[in-house]
Structure 1
């Protein structure tokens, strides 16, 4: 009997009822190839096919064929679980079928289902000793691993291994290839995807000993990965043992590791390392002392301050234009100029604008005065060695006495807030008064203060200075302030309590804060506590799920608002699909506009490591009918894509600058400024046009105040830190930048409270290459940037408007006058020329006098020709060929290098100084293409903030004399300010050394004369 595959399957199905086993097996094999065309007809006999699979009378090959046939039928019926179960029963038949052409979709789907089931089975097996993985499923997965390894698809194997908790596969791959990039990819995958914290730490502890030790390969490109691993684990014992192993043979590497740890490590983590480092013997003691000094953070701050001062390119004309355009008597406009000046000069210690505009400063009153004084903390951010000197004239009496000057409480509260900004995150180690720390000083002020304004400033300052320090004493002091039930003071205390206990996830603190939030009647306090709760669960991932769920079901929209931020901060930097879906659902379903706006904004805190995804996700939200959702979309794009210059995001935001709602336009202007930070005219085609738009909006008195406010802030973000900082929510090594994330969360609250906008400065990251020798001195040397200089150049400065010269009007001559002159000429001229110059009598027309003859080299106004050209000059109108721009440039130590530029930076082999680690944090791509289960290599040009930063240098010619850069910040003597005089209309301030002007040639100019802050005697 001849069976024809292209004929109906009915005849073949009839053979399944035959008694002869060989006929049944032949029929089964034939039907397997007919399933794609006749699966509907075959499915009517599925019970018979299943019985053949279970029959003991058939040989094993026939039973395997029956299982494979049943699997394919169930696949076309879209019963994938049943299809997988029968595929497992098919044994070798399924393995052989995987090589049959045309079955790719079936095989891919079943393998994907097999991986998913294996992952679930492995999770159950790990949680219960009684559960075992099906051996048939195990065989399929092992074959998948073998095939991946044979084909070089290492990333796919790593993806499956991580999700199925098969760490032995990762070790097997590394031992086979000795490729550290596999370890780096494994680390990135477990950090940048949603895995439970316990399993994440298990993987990192497994990977750590596999990484090559810096003692073996100090120039390994994966030192960045090692730093990220240590910071994430926050295991002081592990870190201390590594540092000890590097001393004394690799002390340069030890110093470099210490600087890198300071970039992303929590304060309590760094403090424990400092305390646990040994004193050392005569040989190693100096090195351990240096390590302790570096881990204290002072060295990094000093160097970055020097960099920002030396390279300050803030455009004062922009500030002048904003100041002249905005009415200073309006508190909104006064705040706008204050923020713009603070951000543009953040960390530069330059108060030139304030000195030159004392009249404008004098208009500050009440909370505007609070904001203006706190702005000094932004300008001097990081200069904690002189923070008390700078703000001393405005700080309150530590004994709690009230000032005699009405309204002085606002400048006092602002000074305390500014002191916290100067000492952000280091309040527990920075010096205050009388040998005490800044944290102790602020605690004393908080307890002694009587007025709520001073308490508010002290609470905010204490929270920011002690951020992540987990000081129980500070928390208790703030709690006592909260219990006074003062709306203004309680709001600051609520924020600060969360900041102090940042990331602890302590249920006791959460219960206290939530209970009080439900009991109080003050919306300000509820909002402060709601955001404080979010800070409490920063980075806790699934441990925050219950609290977030509880908050999101509250009747009070302010608590639901806090629940949104709790969810976002718990999973910050981890693109957790479930968290993203929940935020998107809230964004379109909640009854409160504030909650919906917050839900869209908070997408940025989940997705900032993958900025290219954000425009696609928020595209539809940016077109929502609800203006609050549109506003949230602008901030989500700005925060997630900050500093990237991402054109997709700009194309969404540019039309939103013309939105009909003023606060949507405000958000669009702010977001564009964030995105265009450190972009050049050559790298971003939109930069010049947007900067022009900012100027027009700020200068247009008919524009909405909110839009003008947003444009002022947008300008300041582009030029932040003297155009030498970027906004980044992650460190150079790729770890979460805790301070930056906290700062942007606080900045988003400016919607309710303008002074909180200052916290955006916490996200400013200087972008520089600062080279240091073994003894932490800065030598003079050059390095190469292999890119066109214009690509990463500073944006062009605003040009002073030129006065247009008044054009000389030509004299109109009446035709009657012309006739008289013509007759006179006719009499005097010869006959051959007289007739040609005379018009007919009766003409009444206007005639212009002849234009003067063209000057030497002028272009004729009539036909554009060149007249009277100098001898030898070409008459070709084309512009001469411009000089071709070089393809590289040489940059000196302490130069600005933007994040995108780091990949082009090289140290020539002939250079005397070579970095101890690679300049760029970007690691080479792996072979193997797409990862398993959609786990892609999540590297984009914008993923990491870049590299560079502080680099320890190897001196290749140690015997030659060296020339060093003088670090003026470390050598300028501190002068004491004049005592604060709260009488009269002004307060005289003798400025300390940070305002010493730099001579253009590199020297120091004389100390500027003291100036007066005109904070007058207005009523509170």
Structure 2
């Protein structure tokens, strides 16, 4: 049949009073619209009149013709609205460009409308928790909703079983349509104002899309739409549908080793952790997944653990461990031990302590009480000689000695705790406590680092001989190099063989040299205090001017040895911190308390630090400010923030202001949107030191999130602030926000690395070093190599440091440039 060459006659039929002629014209135009739409576009008004005439029996056909004309005119909103008005005449199954475009537009509109009507439930309470940081009363009342601690991010690229930081309350813009682009302007179209019957048709279309996805087994598409739309009911439905489908074909799935429900759960968790940027939405999804996982007959305990750690559900974690131990079979105990390792790896001291408090008290734990405060751990054998070729049996024996020497894990005594029913359960709970407390992981890690250490002492000797030892900067640099090369290995032979060189250290160089022992012996729990005994403050001895630096450094070293595992030494550090009036000793004691009590959220330690802060000493004030942040790491404690920002405005010491600013950034670690009010307040402050803190609050609050909002804020400050320190920090902070996407950083800082301002160039080097550490990324190296010849000395320094960070754990086979650098 010859195609229609002109629509003039058919358009004329639209003006006829006979409905049959009008219907004939519409049917013909609908079939030939791709060739005649230019002529029909002039008669849109007539066709719309037919569509709006409720007595016209072919209204849906008129709507379909209108939709196709608007589609050709690229007016996609109108095309979608009239396609919805066409009802069943719109063929969803026809895989043509027009239908695909309308379906995509329907999905976008559904997401925008649904996200607008489903804001995260925690928004209002979180915003109340933010308030005005200068208002002490408001801060106190909001403390409860802002005190959930968060855990450090893993350095890995979010492995499937990793556990992440978590939080219960957040603040976000409820008007921003959700999903991974939450809070990004223009990420979603503004929701259209649709008539009720059109909304009903939209729901029908979306339901048809979902049903077709279910029939095709494309559950992930439904999950993606549900997450973007913040529709938890659809998400629940998709997961349950998967489970039902799996039950129907259970035999076949079992024979092929497939588990579609577990795969979908893993996919949901992956989206939740990697894509969703709004913490409120993430919490809602995790709570939904957690509820569904608990209803499954054979739950995925590792997926549950990821949820409970993020949501701070310590009661559920302890319940899960108790259930596994009570089952008693080998597989259940193995899962319990692996869960304990995962929980320790990602939980805060406070979170783990609460889990241990809720576990039944084993008899061995009762007997040991507090006896293991500083047990005698076996120092690993000297490397070299016979030790290098030890077989597996010898290693196993040594590790078992380490395990026995550590004693059972410490827990708070409680008369209300139930007793294990059997001796096997008692032994299992003891093992779980050892793992949760970290003694097992720390000892295994210490042993591995000791046996695997291949540090080259000749390099250190060459650096030592090439630098003047009496110059404190040179002396400190060699000390740092030795500490980093031998970190966690317990190999301190360089210091022992160079006592004369070590004796040339004075003042802060002496402090640094002593503190370096803490880096080298990190995790040496059994011998830590004994090794530092010659340097630690003596109760009966008044510190002389010279020994004060060694004493302060030794307290810091003790904290480093027990980093994030400070149960055994916190009381000792607190006593020494309160007993001394020497500012340098207080400086070291504060830092030691901070790293040993990291993320404990201890109000007692915080109050003791605050009392020393109010003495207004610049020497110890900066360290105290940092330590207050470390103790409250990630808690978002509003009362602490209020105290710190108030004192930062009152003091005249810039060092104290800088320490407090960094401390506030640490308190807001991983809080994301919940930190926005504090960030805005700090960035608007007239004091550049507080703006500097505001930048690092952005860096830590959005650490590893890749947030577009955070990146835009940092780039804006990097080119607009009047303070070089703030601009340098802003560029540097890009590395913290984007360290999970190292490939994107070189392109982002390329222009900044050519800035006229040397501080911005230095920030660019550090951003590359932080984000690309250990990757050996060629693009980053190509940017940094010319900067090693920069005209400004500290830019050259930054480029060399960044190159070293990028080449960590690289060899010539992995990256040929290792040898030249």
TM-score interval, smaller chain: 0.7 to 0.9
Residue 71 of structure 1 deviates from its aligned partner by 4.1
C-alpha distance 104-470 of structure 1, shift in aligned 2 (>3 A) = same
Judge conservation of contact 2:731–2:763 (CA < 8 Å) in 1. Answer: yes
Which residue among 720, 728, 739 is the counterpart of 1:608? Answer: 739
Higher relative contact order (CA 8 A, sep 6+): 1
- What is the alpha-carbon distance in structure 2 between the residues aligned to residue 520 and residue 227 of structure 1? 44
Residue 152 of structure 1 deviates from its aligned partner by 4.3
1:244 and 2:322 are equivalent in the alignment: yes
Q: Could you tell me which residue of structure 2 aligns to residue 167 of structure 1?
A: 235
Which residue among 290, 297, 319 is the counterpart of 1:208? Answer: 290
C-alpha distance 251-77 of structure 1, shift in aligned 2 (>3 A) = same
Q: Could you tell me which residue of structure 2 aligns to residue 335 of structure 1?
A: 476
Q: Could you tell me which residue of structure 2 aligns to residue 289 of structure 1?
A: 430
C-alpha distance 580-75 of structure 1, shift in aligned 2 (>3 A) = farther
Residue 211 of structure 1 deviates from its aligned partner by 4.7
Q: How does 1:753-902 map to 2 (within 5 A)?
A: none
Q: Could you tell me which residue of structure 2 aligns to residue 313 of structure 1?
A: 454
- What is the alpha-carbon distance in structure 2 between the residues aligned to residue 103 and residue 635 of structure 1? 50
Q: Could you tell me which residue of structure 1 aligns to residue 547 of structure 2?
A: 408
Judge conservation of contact 1:498–1:534 (CA < 8 Å) in 2. Answer: yes
Greater shift after overlay, 180-189 or 388-397? 388-397
Q: Could you tell me which residue of structure 1 aligns to residue 556 of structure 2?
A: 417
RMSD: 3.0
- What is the alpha-carbon distance in structure 1 between the residues aligned to residue 659 and residue 625 of structure 2? 4
- What is the alpha-carbon distance in structure 1 between the residues aligned to residue 539 and residue 47 of structure 2? 88
Q: Deviations over 1:863-886 (max 9, x none)?
A: xxxxxxxxxxxxxxxxxxxxxxxx
- What is the alpha-carbon distance in structure 2 between the residues aligned to residue 215 and residue 335 of structure 1? 59
C-alpha distance 632-402 of structure 1, shift in aligned 2 (>3 A) = same
* Alignment gaps of 5+ in structure 1: 431-437, 691-1020
1:256 and 2:338 are equivalent in the alignment: yes
Residue 679 of structure 1 deviates from its aligned partner by 2.1
C-alpha distance 68-514 of structure 1, shift in aligned 2 (>3 A) = farther
C-alpha distance 69-125 of structure 1, shift in aligned 2 (>3 A) = farther
Residue 26 of structure 1 deviates from its aligned partner by 4.7
Residue 634 of structure 1 deviates from its aligned partner by 2.4
Q: Could you tell me which residue of structure 2 aligns to residue 353 of structure 1?
A: 494
Residue 496 of structure 1 deviates from its aligned partner by 0.8
Judge conservation of contact 1:84–1:113 (CA < 8 Å) in 2. Answer: no
- What is the alpha-carbon distance in structure 2 between the residues aligned to residue 6 and residue 672 of structure 1? 69
C-alpha distance 65-548 of structure 1, shift in aligned 2 (>3 A) = farther
Which residue among 227, 233, 250 is the counterpart of 2:311? Answer: 233
Which SS does the other structure have where 2:340 is aligned?
helix
- What is the alpha-carbon distance in structure 1 between the residues aligned to residue 776 and residue 243 of structure 2? 37
Judge conservation of contact 1:267–1:468 (CA < 8 Å) in 2. Answer: yes
Q: Could you tell me which residue of structure 1 aligns to residue 601 of structure 2?
A: 470
Greater shift after overlay, 310-319 or 63-72? 63-72
- What is the alpha-carbon distance in structure 2 between the residues aligned to residue 108 and residue 323 of structure 1? 70
Which residue among 688, 692, 695 is the counterpart of 1:564? Answer: 695
Which SS does the other structure have where 2:534 is aligned?
helix
- What is the alpha-carbon distance in structure 1 between the residues aligned to residue 34 and residue 724 of structure 2? 52
Which SS does the other structure have where 1:658 is aligned?
coil
Greater shift after overlay, 294-303 or 538-547? 538-547
Residue 477 of structure 1 deviates from its aligned partner by 0.7
- What is the alpha-carbon distance in structure 2 between the residues aligned to residue 492 and residue 479 of structure 1? 11
Q: Could you tell me which residue of structure 1 aligns to residue 349 of structure 2?
A: 267
Which SS does the other structure have where 1:602 is aligned?
helix
Q: How does 1:525-544 map to 2 (within 5 A)?
A: 525-544=656-675
C-alpha distance 242-111 of structure 1, shift in aligned 2 (>3 A) = same
- What is the alpha-carbon distance in structure 2 between the residues aligned to residue 108 and residue 363 of structure 1? 76
C-alpha distance 72-411 of structure 1, shift in aligned 2 (>3 A) = farther
Q: Could you tell me which residue of structure 1 aligns to residue 815 of structure 2?
A: 684
Judge conservation of contact 1:561–1:594 (CA < 8 Å) in 2. Answer: yes
* Alignment gaps of 5+ in structure 2: 125-193, 247-258, 362-419
C-alpha distance 664-226 of structure 1, shift in aligned 2 (>3 A) = farther
Structure ranking higher in strand proportion: 1
Judge conservation of contact 2:769–2:802 (CA < 8 Å) in 1. Answer: yes
TM-score normalised by structure 1 residue count: 0.61
Residue 515 of structure 1 deviates from its aligned partner by 1.0
C-alpha distance 83-464 of structure 1, shift in aligned 2 (>3 A) = farther
Q: Could you tell me which residue of structure 2 aligns to residue 903 of structure 1?
A: none
Q: Deviations over 1:156-211 (max 9, x none)?
A: 32211222222222332344344212111111211223354344233223323555
- What is the alpha-carbon distance in structure 2 between the residues aligned to residue 292 and residue 627 of structure 1? 51
Judge conservation of contact 1:84–1:114 (CA < 8 Å) in 2. Answer: no
- What is the alpha-carbon distance in structure 2 between the residues aligned to residue 515 and residue 76 of structure 1? 61
1:459 and 2:590 are equivalent in the alignment: yes
Q: Could you tell me which residue of structure 2 aligns to residue 703 of structure 1?
A: none
C-alpha distance 33-253 of structure 1, shift in aligned 2 (>3 A) = same
Q: Could you tell me which residue of structure 1 aligns to residue 611 of structure 2?
A: 480
C-alpha distance 110-383 of structure 1, shift in aligned 2 (>3 A) = same
Residue 379 of structure 1 deviates from its aligned partner by 0.4
The structure having more radius of gyration, on CA atoms, is: 1
Q: Could you tell me which residue of structure 1 aligns to residue 114 of structure 2?
A: 119
Residue 456 of structure 1 deviates from its aligned partner by 1.2
C-alpha distance 309-66 of structure 1, shift in aligned 2 (>3 A) = same
Greater shift after overlay, 260-269 or 663-672? 663-672
Which SS does the other structure have where 1:385 is aligned?
coil
1:86 and 2:82 are equivalent in the alignment: yes
- What is the alpha-carbon distance in structure 2 between the residues aligned to residue 475 and residue 305 of structure 1? 30
Q: Could you tell me which residue of structure 1 aligns to residue 439 of structure 2?
A: 298
- What is the alpha-carbon distance in structure 2 between the residues aligned to residue 190 and residue 211 of structure 1? 15
C-alpha distance 575-14 of structure 1, shift in aligned 2 (>3 A) = farther
Q: Could you tell me which residue of structure 2 aligns to residue 587 of structure 1?
A: 718
C-alpha distance 687-95 of structure 1, shift in aligned 2 (>3 A) = farther
- What is the alpha-carbon distance in structure 1 between the residues aligned to residue 512 and residue 805 of structure 2? 21
